């Protein structure tokens, strides 16, 4: 079947052309994201670290692969246009000059994220309203692509204005990338998967390592480590915003996932050990594990951290221990942080000597309570500036 004139336009203007993309990274994760991209074979010369993430130039197919395979970024944006506008009349003219039917399906639900700084146009709602009207008018004028499926796809347009310079971007990701589609059941205050990956990366975790996750909660460290060990791409079980674009090829994406599936590794022995004292959290973890066939590699038990002895779990083997101790409200009113972290430090020193460790710390002072020589890496989680302590016990 010959491609239509519309399909030819999409190929010529969108899928067959290089575009500028931006991988948004949480504070502290930019370098990790860059390393991931290089490991996937992306040319170093096409990557540029800028404020907030990594900018790269490629065809949409590479962006599709990055969404599927990258563990550290939050989302990936595709730059659509950059222009100057100091009035609504100029803004509307520039927005209307964009051929929106090549970027968006007709039956989409539009959302806008608008930020302004030192620009004459500063009212974000007014900017969004005018832009939405222009885009919807174009999409309803006829000839626009309609995405398959009964439900409307959510598509987000990012508009940034700084000193009257506008950058218009389209979200390629949808739901934030840390949502892998694996952790369907969660406990209170779950750790984000991209932060868990960052800590495993900093600790040098590899496929050959044992992982002990003794304050596992809903098991973010354990599940992330299992995906790394088995070569399971972080986006394998989820969908993305780009899957509803006019230029999206289901056949090409299915082939990309099939290639990834051929690299999956199977394990016959347990190599990840998750434990907690919270039976509700463990029930959630066990359900997540069974839903995605991680039972062969992850062992789950209800046990207090201070009663765990790694020499009994993995005789003759050492690896990585990851801890996300309770802090703030989770620690409780009657608990004293100084003595709590001091006991953690003593336990690690006594029984985990020679292990690489990662521990989440609510403040620098908690590191001094541990009595360990850890490198502190600032991270941002749950609205808080906290630290990841990484080092050898």
Q: What are the φ and ψ backbone dihedral angles of 29, each rounded to 5 degrees?
A: -105, 0
The whole-number pLDDT of residue 189 equals 61
Place of tokens 């989409």: 108
Is the CB of residue 219 less than 8 Å from the CB of residue 289?
Answer: yes
Query: With 90 as the cut, is the pLDDT of residue 96 above it?
Result: yes
In this prediction, residues 10-23 reach a mean pLDDT of: 96
Q: For residue range 179-196, what is the model confidence (pLDDT) as tens digits? A: 999 987 666 667 899 999
Mean pLDDT of 108-118: 96
pLDDT of 134 higher than 50: yes
- Confidence class of residue 268 from pLDDT cuts 50, 70 and 90? confident
Provide the 8-state DSSP code for 270: -
pLDDT tens, residue by residue, 39-80:
999 999 999 999 999 999 999 999 999 999 999 999 999 999
Res 334 pLDDT > 50:
no
Mean pLDDT of 305-324: 94
- Sorting pLDDT into bands at 50, 70 and 90, what band is 141? confident
| pLDDT(99) > 60 | yes
Higher pLDDT residue, 143 or 152?
152
At 157-173, the pLDDT tens digits run 999 999 999 999 999 99
Within 8 A by CB and 6+ apart from 298, the residues are 219, 222, 223, 226, 270, 272, 273, 274, 289
Q: Which residues of 86-123 are buried (b: 16+ CB within 10 A; e: fewer)?
A: eeeebbeebbeebebbbbbbbbbebebebebeebebee
Report percent pLDDT > 90 for the chain: 81
């Amino acid at each position: 079947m010959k491609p239509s004139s519309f399909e030819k336009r999409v190929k010529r203007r969108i899928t067959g052309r290089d575009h500028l993309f931006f991988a948004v990274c949480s504070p502290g994760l930019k370098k990790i994201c860059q390393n991931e991209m290089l490991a996937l074979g992306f040319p170093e010369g096409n990557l540029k670290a800028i404020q907030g993430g990594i900018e790269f130039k490629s065809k949409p197919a590479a962006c599709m692969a990055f969404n599927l395979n990258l563990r550290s970024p939050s989302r990936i944006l595709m730059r659509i246009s950059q222009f100057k506008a100091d009035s609504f009349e100029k803004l509307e003219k520039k927005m209307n000059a964009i051929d929106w039917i090549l970027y968006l399906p007709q039956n989409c639900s539009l959302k806008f994220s608008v930020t302004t700084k030192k620009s004459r146009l500063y009212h974000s709602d007014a900017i969004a309203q005018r832009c939405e009207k222009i885009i919807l008018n174009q999409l309803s004028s006829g000839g626009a692509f309609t995405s398959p499926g009964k439900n409307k796809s959510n598509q987000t347009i990012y508009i940034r204005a700084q000193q009257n310079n506008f950058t218009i971007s389209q979200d390629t990701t949808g739901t934030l990338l840390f949502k892998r589609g694996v952790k369907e059941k969660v406990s209170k205050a779950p750790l984000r998967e991209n932060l868990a990956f960052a800590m495993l990366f900093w600790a040098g975790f590899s496929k050959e390592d044992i992982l002990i996750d003794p304050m596992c909660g809903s098991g973010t460290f354990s599940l992330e480590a299992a995906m790394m060990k088995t070569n399971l791409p972080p986006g394998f079980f989820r969908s993305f915003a780009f899957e509803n674009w006019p230029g999206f090829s289901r056949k090409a994406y299915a082939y990309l996932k099939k290639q990834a599936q051929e690299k999956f590794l199977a394990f016959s022995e347990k190599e990840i050990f998750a434990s907690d004292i919270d039976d509700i959290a463990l029930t959630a973890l066990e359900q997540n594990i069974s839903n995605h066939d991680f039972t062969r590699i992850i062992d789950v038990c209800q046990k207090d951290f201070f009663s765990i002895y790694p020499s009994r779990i993995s005789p003759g083997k050492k690896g990585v221990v990851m801890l996300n101790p309770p802090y703030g409200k989770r620690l409780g009113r009657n608990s004293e942080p100084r003595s709590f972290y001091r006991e953690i430090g003593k336990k690690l020193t006594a029984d985990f000597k020679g292990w690489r460790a990662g521990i989440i710390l609510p403040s620098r002072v908690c590191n001094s309570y541990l009595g360990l020589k850890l490198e502190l890496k600032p991270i941002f989680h749950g609205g808080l500036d906290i630290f990841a302590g990484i080092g050898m016990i």
